[in-house]
């Protein structure tokens, strides 16, 4: 028999959000808010140029352009990804663990989404900027950086961080 038979903590759980019959697919009015993404890019780049790498990372993860995956990559999301890759590349490998430990769970999930999106971006050069990185050395360097971030984010956020990043329908 349970020790806490008078516990009513289970009543606070919203079970309707797990009911498959009540699922409503989100309809997206527009792809992404390009003005907000541009503003966040400028803020993150300004912080990065000022030497505040951790603040630049937090600013970039504050409100990234999220939308459902489409056949054609959204140029706003690709530009935002480039900024995040520049921010991640600015960290030394010894600074990554400290930067990841400052992130919340949601920020860690978004970081993992950017890491996977960056790996995809480097693996399939579908834009002119990625095609310009034809040299294996440049790709290998960015791949090593992303793997370092992936390792630290997995250690901080656990496997749930990986699962949430892969299972979420909205991508960066």
Residue 122 tokens, joined: 């480097």
CA 83 → CA 25, 57, 62, 109, 167, distances in Å? 30, 10, 14, 18, 24
**Strand (E) or helix (H) holding 68:** strand 67-68
The pLDDT > 90 percentage for the chain reads 54
Taking only Cα atoms into account, the Rg of the chain, rounded to an integer number of angstroms, comes to: 19
Domains of the chain: residue spans and CATH: 33-171 (1.25.40.190)
Q: In the prediction, which pLDDT does 142 show?
A: 86
DSSP letter for 170, please: E
Higher pLDDT, 32 or 83: 83
Average pLDDT over residues 44-53: 94
Q: In the prediction, which pLDDT does 69 show?
A: 83
DSSP letter for 94, please: T
Q: What is the pLDDT of residues 145-170, one digit of tens each?
A: 999 999 999 999 999 999 999 999 99
Does residue 30 carry a pLDDT above 50?
Answer: no
Does residue 29 carry a pLDDT above 50?
Answer: no
């Amino acid at each position: 028999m349970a020790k806490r038979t008078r516990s009513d903590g289970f009543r606070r759980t919203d079970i309707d959000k797990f009911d498959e019959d009540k699922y409503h697919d989100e309809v997206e009015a527009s792809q992404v808010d390009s003005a907000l993404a541009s503003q966040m890019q400028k803020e993150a780049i300004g912080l990065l140029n000022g030497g505040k790498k951790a603040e630049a990372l937090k600013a970039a993860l504050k409100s990234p352009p999220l939308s459902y995956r489409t056949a054609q990559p959204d140029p706003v999301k690709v530009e935002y990804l480039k900024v995040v890759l520049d921010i991640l590349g600015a960290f030394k490998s010894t600074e990554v663990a400290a930067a990841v430990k400052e992130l919340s769970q949601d920020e860690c999930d978004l970081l993992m989404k950017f890491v996977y999106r960056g790996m995809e971006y480097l693996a399939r050069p579908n834009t002119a900027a990625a095609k310009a990185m034809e040299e294996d050395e440049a790709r290998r360097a960015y791949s090593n950086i992303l793997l370092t971030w992936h390792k630290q984010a997995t250690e901080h956020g656990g496997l749930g961080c990986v699962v949430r990043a892969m299972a979420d329908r909205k991508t960066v």
